[in-house]
Amino acid sequence: MTLIEQLDRLSHPVFQAAIIAAFGVLCLCWQRYRLGVGLLALAAFWLWLCCTPAFALWLQRCLESQYPPQPAASYAKADAIVVLGGGVVPSSKINWRTDETGVLATRIGFGLQLYRDGRAPIILLSGGEHEAEQMAQALRQQGVPASALRTEQLSMTTHENALYSAIILKREHRRSILLVTSPMHMPRAAASFRRQGLSVIPAPALDPTAYPLKMPRGWWPAHSALYLSTRCLREYLGLWGYRLLGWA
């Protein structure tokens, strides 16, 4: 099992609660009743907590507040714009110039805004399984010349995004980048690219299409809150794992 697969499993609160509960059952079998009952109660409490919107939204705010989104024109100029895959690629049938809330707020749409505002002369699109080429095709349809586009099509993880993108950028002597990804993913992504010796300007894209779930408020458990908690915990564990491996 790869590191990413392990983190995906460990980041799920149900799996975490199951591990705690298993230790609780073992303690009961060993007649350590007080510890066993305490662990079972902890497992139930942790699962309930991760299902509450208040806790899930707090986890999200802690991640996203590190790099608040800004208008494209407010960013400093850089050698390149790097857009990471994983976001929505809007249809070419939509008018990208007018549909700002649904298109220009996505990762690729915000990268296009940065380019049109003259923040960098090229856009590097990073993502495996043909994702980078799909994004490049969409940008060419929006008038971005092929000479201003670069694609990195080998990466399957954030670490590989940074590693393979850095090779392309350093080959062209480009050291400063505007990094575009979701606000939640930005702490791990920015740390990964800095580890490759690049000067990173985080430029998070809100990408409203990436959050389709309607999130209630308060402490009443909701499935959407469990989903959000899982995504946030994956980023926290991912950043910890990357630092442990020297990737961030």
pLDDT of residue 208: 65
Q: Which residue spans of the chain are classified as CATH 3.40.50.620?
A: 72-208
Q: Above pLDDT 70, what percent of the chain?
A: 92
Q: Which residues contact 178 (CB under 8 A, 6 or more apart)?
A: 75, 78, 80, 81, 82, 114, 119, 120, 201, 203
Query: pLDDT for 199-246, tens place per residue?
Result: 999 999 986 655 555 778 889 999 999 999 999 999 999 999 899 999
Question: Measuring CA to CA, how many Å separate 241 from each of 7, 179, 187, 246, 248?
Answer: 8, 21, 13, 9, 9
Contact 177, 204 (CB under 8 A): no
Task: Read off the pTM.
Answer: 0.91
At residue 103's C-alpha, the angle toward residues 105 and 117, to 5°, is 65
Contact 192, 242 (CB under 8 A): yes
Q: Which residues contact 212 (CB under 8 A, 6 or more apart)?
A: none
Place of tokens 């794992």: 241
Q: Domain 72-208 carries which CATH code?
A: 3.40.50.620
pLDDT of residue 2: 58
Contact 51, 226 (CB under 8 A): yes
Q: Is the pLDDT of residue 6 over 80?
A: no
Query: pLDDT for 166-206, tens place per residue?
Result: 999 999 999 999 999 999 999 999 999 999 999 999 999 98
Question: Measuring CA to CA, how many Å separate 88 from each of 26, 35, 73, 132?
Answer: 45, 47, 22, 12
Contact 44, 71 (CB under 8 A): no
Amino acid identity for residue 194 in this structure: R
Count of CB atoms situated within 10 Å of the CB of 190: 23
